[in-house]
Amino acid sequence: MDYNDNINKDISNYAFVQFIKPETFIADSKKRFSGYIEIELLTIDNLFIGSGMSYFDGTNFYATTLQENGKLIIPGSSLKGAVRHISRAVSPSCIPDTEEDQLRNEYHMECNLNKKCIVCDMFGMMSKASKIRFTDLISENGKTVKVKVPTQFEPKKNSEKYKDDCMFFGYKFYYTNCKNRDIPKDESIEAIMENTSFTGKVFFKDLYKEELQLLMFALSFSEHISLKLGKYKADGFGTCNIFCKKLLIDGKEEDVKKAYDYAIAHKEYVDKIAKGQINNLSDILLRKKYKEELGENKN
């Protein structure tokens, strides 16, 4: 079976995007950029990021989503993790926690302070701080809804989808358009409702142009993908779209359309070094629109 056929076949509510062979990052120029991006995150599906707390409503115990001072929040670390994961899938970055001998030989790359991939240079590694900082995202008037969800389990290692070698050669992503699943709904949660708006900032310091382009693509500004956050992603939760509301680079406010241009530039780069990679990712994280998104939420 051809590898691409294997990687793209329908395997429940998730699929894999093939690794790109890693390489040491060398910038085209020495110019660096610093600034911040003001973002709006719109939940397209219900979203659950657990607070670790629950309450009893007289019938069931409901796990609560994260809040602070009465406002719903998405931790910056949650968004950063999702953006870093996408960044790895669309760049020649090192592959963490590689155990397979074949991968060690062909894909293994040990990043260090003198020799590192683009993702480690951007997001940090041991003994190197991240050049990107995500604030917590806050919703001023977001609401929650009580729902029943199935208990989450890891896939069985002896199941059909784990018998193919493809799982050792790609990054796992959950489909934005999740299948309907007829399984018991035995957990009670209070989730953030769809069409909830969050705002926050992404600060960056000393990014090379190629890194800024990768960041903009991974934030989904190219509009090729939606992100997935939180728990219960396998059951249709967590789809989010992100919009650039303000872009400040080296003290100068730029047209927000420049964020889109940066993202498209990275897409074009990936199309050259790994043909079909963006399409494979888009097939899984297909940009999903909300009925109220098409107008006032976009610039």
- pLDDT tens across 210-268, in order? 999 999 999 999 989 999 999 999 888 999 999 999 999 999 999 999 999 999 999 99
Contact 224, 278 (CB under 8 A): yes
- HSE of 117 in the Cβ direction (CA atoms, 13 Å)? 25
In which residue ranges of the chain is pLDDT below 70? 1-11, 97-106, 153-169, 179-182, 292, 294-299
Taking the CB of residue 118, how many other CB atoms lie within 10 A of it?
23
What integer pLDDT is reported at residue 292 of this predicted model?
A: 67
> What is the distance between the alpha carbons of residues 124 and 118, in angstroms, rounded to a whole number?
10
DSSP 165-193: GGGGGEEEEE-SSPPP------EEEEEEP
Name, in order, each residue with C-beta under 8 angstroms of 180's C-beta and a sequence gap of 6 or more.
Answer: none
pTM (2 d.p.): 0.88
What integer pLDDT is reported at residue 14 of this predicted model?
A: 86
